[in-house]
């Protein structure tokens, strides 16, 4: 009964406009080669734990942890009019939280982590992806791939948003460093901006 499923989750797959977030730690793999495995997992889980809490508090849907990367979306299964704004505020809160993550790392003699975050908005296919033996609510579409390519260009501490995300924003934010990125598999270049914070901060 559709009234009993207000979020409109279609198991068979449907189109959703979402703001996609991908974050990772710059140079994490190389850094991990100089540490004991237990230290690497401790450091990784401290970061993932802190970021998971913030993403969930922002009503983001975590799709995956892929090594040190986090893939999340805002807008599925449930659409909200402020999906892009919540994604941006979530990214700003995540960057701010890295100071505390790094204080804990420093206290244990662990290296400082610097995270990049990419945000991109577009229409994707959302659905239960997988097999009878293993499935998950997941996403397919060019906007997913584009987000990953934008993430490749992020510096440590940076949040890069695509122009498609910028167009959805209702709040005022400080944007700098407009760039056009060439993305494999996409004919047109993708315009991105570095987001510094809310304009009233």
Site of interaction with a copy of itself (CB under 8 A): 10, 12-15, 28-30, 32-33, 37-38, 40-42, 44-45, 48-49, 52-53, 56, 62, 64-68, 71, 125, 127-136, 138-142, 144-145, 185
The whole-angstrom separation of Cα 27 and Cα 30 is: 5
- Measured at the alpha carbon of residue 181, what is the angle toward residues 194 and 32, in degrees to the nearest 5? 70
The whole-angstrom separation of Cα 10 and Cα 180 is: 35
- How many Cβ atoms from other residues are within 10 Å of residue 195's Cβ? 24
Q: Give me the least distance between CB of 50 and a copy of itself, in Å please.
A: 8
Q: Is-contact 59 80, C-beta < 8 A?
A: yes
Q: Give me the least distance between CB of 120 and a copy of itself, in Å please.
A: 14
C-beta closer to a copy of itself: residue 133 or 170: 133
The whole-angstrom separation of Cα 79 and Cα 98 is: 28
Q: Give me the least distance between CB of 161 and a copy of itself, in Å please.
A: 21
C-beta closer to a copy of itself: residue 134 or 170: 134
C-beta closer to a copy of itself: residue 178 or 189: 189
The alpha carbon of residue 101 and the mean position of all alpha carbons in its chain are separated, in whole angstroms, by 18
C-beta closer to a copy of itself: residue 70 or 160: 70
């Amino acid at each position: 009964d559709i009234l009993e499923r207000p979020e409109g989750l279609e198991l068979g797959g449907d189109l959703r406009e979402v703001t996609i977030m991908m974050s990772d730690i710059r140079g994490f793999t190389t850094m991990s080669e100089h540490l004991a495995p237990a230290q690497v997992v401790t450091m990784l889980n401290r970061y993932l734990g802190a970021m998971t809490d913030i993403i969930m508090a922002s009503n983001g849907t975590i799709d995956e942890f892929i090594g040190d990367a986090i893939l999340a979306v805002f807008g599925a299964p449930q659409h909200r009019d402020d999906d892009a704004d919540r994604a941006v505020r979530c990214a700003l809160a995540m960057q701010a939280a890295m100071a505390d993550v790094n204080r804990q790392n420093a206290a244990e003699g662990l290296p400082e982590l610097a995270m990049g975050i990419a945000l991109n908005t577009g229409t994707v296919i959302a659905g239960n992806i997988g097999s009878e033996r293993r499935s998950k609510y997941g996403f397919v579409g060019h906007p997913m791939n584009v987000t990953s390519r934008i993430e490749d260009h992020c510096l440590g501490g940076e949040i890069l948003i695509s122009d498609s995300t910028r167009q959805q924003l209702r709040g005022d934010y400080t944007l700098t460093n407009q760039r056009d990125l060439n993305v494999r598999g996409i004919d047109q270049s993708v315009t991105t901006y570095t987001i510094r914070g809310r304009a009233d901060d």
